[in-house]
Amino acid sequence: MKVGIVGAGMVGSSAGYALAVMGLASSVVLVDQNHDLAVAQAEDIAHAVPFMSSTIVEAADYGGLAGARVVILAAGVSQKPGETRLALLERNAAVFKDVVGNVLAVAPDAILLIASNPVDIMAQITQRISGLPASRVVGSGTILDTARFRSLLGRHLGISPQSVHAYVLGEHGDSEVLAWSNARVGSLSLAEVAAQVGSPITQHVRARIDDGVRNAAYKIIKGKGATYYGIGAGLARIIKAIARDQHDVLTVSCVMAEIGDVRDVALSIPRVIGADGVSEDLMPDLAAEELEGLGRSAQLLKDCVESISL
Ligand SMILES: NC(=O)C1=CN([C@@H]2O[C@H](COP(=O)(O)OP(=O)(O)OC[C@H]3O[C@@H](n4cnc5c(N)ncnc54)[C@H](O)[C@@H]3O)[C@@H](O)[C@H]2O)C=CC1
Ligand SMILES: CC(=O)C(=O)O
């Protein structure tokens, strides 16, 4: 399977690296307006391949994306320390006006996997520009926030994050909702497991984990300028579900006809994803305050998307 990546910066190259070392694609093609950067990233990643897989990694112009089953869109600007994701909207919307048309001109059948921020709104803009069905325009959404939540819960409990089933919903951003009420570990409720391992989820623990998830990007960007390993692996995980038609449940962002009182908005809930993109939305049963938070998140995203003229 060929995977294209537009935007060969930190996020795009990290996704390319993850795909190559995991051997999830037969070919990865990097495209960037800075062609020299794309060439350098492709070469560097290609030098990891002999240790891990047989993926062919190349840089190209848009023509090189012909035949790609999935194209990751990671082009545009990223946050400076202290800047919100929403502050990037106008600049990245302008970038996508060119990028989406260029991709579809050569890869009309591809699934578009959006990473650029603010990712929910960029996914919605991409769907509008492309006219593709929502199922084929997939934002990475809260896949990364969900991983952060599982990582912190797992660390608190002394249990592998892969055995923690907990989701972050709504915006990939400040208004996101940690779905504590239906978090499970193995097949047990979080409270049961926490009691059995002697690590209760007190209000203090909950606040610490919430802060660790919600503000992770701000802290990492302050420390090293950008986040990229987490999302690189997250994008590769979504592509694994597509490449192997796994029908996995992942929190990705897609335009939904309605959520609560808000119509036509992209945000994350658990969704089934396979070879054709998203096939099902799985709306979880939430506590009242989580449902209210999700409604506020949806309304905020809707207001932002309406503020942008396309
Ligand atoms: N969805 C998520 O969970 C995450 C999203 N991001 C977002 O991903 C995006 C990329 O971040 P980084 O890779 O760190 O930025 P970066 O600055 O390292 O890379 C962006 C690349 O886009 C290229 N680019 C800009 N305009 C272009 C155009 N018109 N055509 C082709 N290429 C173009 C630039 O030349 C640059 O190489 C940002 O919007 C960032 O906020 C970052 C981390 C996590
Ligand atoms: C930058 C970003 O969106 C993140 O790391 O969550």
The per-residue pLDDT string of the chain (310 residues; one tens digit each, 9 = 90 and over) reads 999 999 999 999 999 999 999 999 999 999 999 999 999 999 999 999 999 999 999 999 999 999 999 999 999 999 999 999 999 999 999 999 999 999 999 999 999 999 999 999 999 999 999 999 999 999 999 999 999 999 999 999 999 999 999 999 999 999 999 999 999 999 999 999 999 999 999 999 999 999 999 999 999 999 999 999 999 999 999 999 999 999 999 999 999 999 999 999 999 999 999 999 999 999 999 999 999 999 999 999 999 999 987 6
Minimum CA distance residue for ligand 1 atom 2: 115
Q: What is the pLDDT of residue 55?
A: 98
Q: What is the pLDDT of residue 309?
A: 76
Told to judge if 172 belongs to the known catalytic residues of this protein, a careful annotator would answer: yes
Report residue 142 as tokens.
Answer: 């809260």
Q: Is 14 a pocket residue for ligand 1 (Cβ < 6 Å)?
A: no
pLDDT tens, 165-197?
A: 999 999 999 999 999 999 999 999 999 999 999
Q: What pairs with residue 112 in β-bridges?
A: 71, 137
pLDDT tens, 283-309?
A: 999 999 999 999 999 999 999 999 987
Q: Is 115 a pocket residue for ligand 1 (Cβ < 6 Å)?
A: yes
Containing 274, the helix (H) or strand (E) segment is strand 262-274
Q: What is the pLDDT of residue 121?
A: 98
The predicted model scores a pTM of: 0.98
CA of 82 to the centre of ligand 1 (A): 17
Cis, bond preceding 118 (omega within 30 deg of 0): yes
Q: Which residues are near ligand 2 (CB < 6 Å)? A: 79, 85, 117, 144, 217, 227
Minimum CA distance residue for ligand 2 atom 4: 217
Residue 150 backbone phi and psi in degrees, to 5:
-65, -40
Other Cβ atoms within 10 Å of 258 Cβ, number: 10
Which listed ligand is nearest to 10 at the C-alpha? 1
Q: Is 300 a pocket residue for ligand 1 (Cβ < 6 Å)?
A: no
Minimum CA distance residue for ligand 2 atom 6: 217
